[in-house]
Structure 1
Amino acid sequence: MAQDVDLSQVDRIIAAHGSGAGALIPVLQKVQDALGWLPKPAMDRIAAGLRIPASNVYGVATFYAQFRLKPVGKYIIKVCHGTACHVAGATKITEAFERELAVKDGETTADRMFTLESVACLGCCSLAPVAMVQKEAHGRLTGDKVAKVISDYRKAEGGK
């Protein structure tokens, strides 16, 4: 599957950070911020631009959980599964999101609007169970509230 990637963005990011292995993680972070994920053509360009082996770039990108090697949705939903949220029903909340979005944990909707992820802790324990959509916390969730959260984001996108 060929990916159309604007490599000029990658080139600008590399130029701003210089070459060498020391620039790799900041460059990967900035490229992911720009593209939303790290497609293979971008990682190949990073390797060439930083003058390091492509295997090093891929190794770092796969080692750190912060890097995404698959496209993600416009809205990333992070469901907290820390202790307080787990006790308060985080598993049921994840299942409600899965039903509402018709995806499994870790997947992205076909329209690439939402990506669902379980995370260890969001630090919002008093709101348990909680999910974060982008930087907005949605606390004391129930199955009905999950449906409303998704509905509100879809409405904001014109009812998609």
Structure 2
Amino acid sequence: MHDILENIPVNDPLCNPEQKAIIDRILTENQDRPGATMVVLNEMQKQIGFISEAMQAYAAKNLKVPVSSIHGVVSFYSFFTTTPRGRHVVKFCMGTACYVGGTPQLIEKAKQLLGIDVGQTTKDGAITMEVCRCVGACSQAPVMVLDDEVSGRVRPNKLPQSLRALQD
């Protein structure tokens, strides 16, 4: 993966001087901290919005850790993403109660309405659709999370208005 640093895609944050400065600052401020990998990745996700393969390789090089350990963290934790998300994120809970309560039907309806699949972002960059594990609102099943707001007892016929509200 270190080879990627020699062929960084032009749209990568490392090629944008402002974003690279943010990444460099995050690395410099945190490289000597205990647990630096997690701190750095959290800050990169928070400030850049995603952690590309090139960013992972760059962080590994600067933190002097194997790229595999950076990639392992990014791929293990679901809150990290390797591609830009939309301005809004719609997550459908796939915990047991929500699954049984109708989440698969909600996902199918959302796919039709948005014209995308799970893990994709609408062409206009407005909405990214994801699934997540239990959000702890089982009594409200099925549940979806719109940005950071939990909506419970979601029905397919109410989905269009919820999604329309997110499309700027």
TM-score relative to the length of structure 2: 0.82
Alignment equivalent of 1:27, drawn from 18, 40, 45: 40
Question: 1:17 aligned to 2:34?
Answer: no
Deviation of 1:41 (Å): 3.2
- Report the count of equivalent residues: 155
Q: Decide which moves more: 79-88 or 142-151.
A: 79-88
Within a 5 Å distance, the mapping from 1:1-160 to structure 2 comes to 1-5=9-13, 6-19=19-32, 22-154=35-167, 157=168
Contact 2:126 2:166 survives alignment (8 Å): no
Deviation of 1:143 (Å): 1.7
Specify the SS of the correspondent of 1:107. Answer: coil
Provide the rounded CA distance (Å) in 1 between the counterparts of 2:124 and 2:115.
Answer: 11
Contact 1:21 1:50 survives alignment (8 Å): no
Q: Unaligned regions of 5+ residues in structure 1, if any?
A: none
Distance 1:73 1:14, change over 3 A: same
Distance 1:74 1:51, change over 3 A: same
Specify the SS of the correspondent of 1:141. Answer: coil
Provide the rounded CA distance (Å) in 2 between the counterparts of 1:88 and 1:58.
Answer: 34
Q: What amino acid is the match of 1:76?
A: V
Q: Unaligned regions of 5+ residues in structure 2, if any?
A: 1-8, 14-18
* Identity fraction in percent: 31
Specify the SS of the correspondent of 1:3. Answer: coil
TM-score relative to the length of structure 1: 0.86
Q: Decide which moves more: 132-141 or 14-23.
A: 14-23
Provide the rounded CA distance (Å) in 2 between the counterparts of 1:58 and 1:20.
Answer: 19
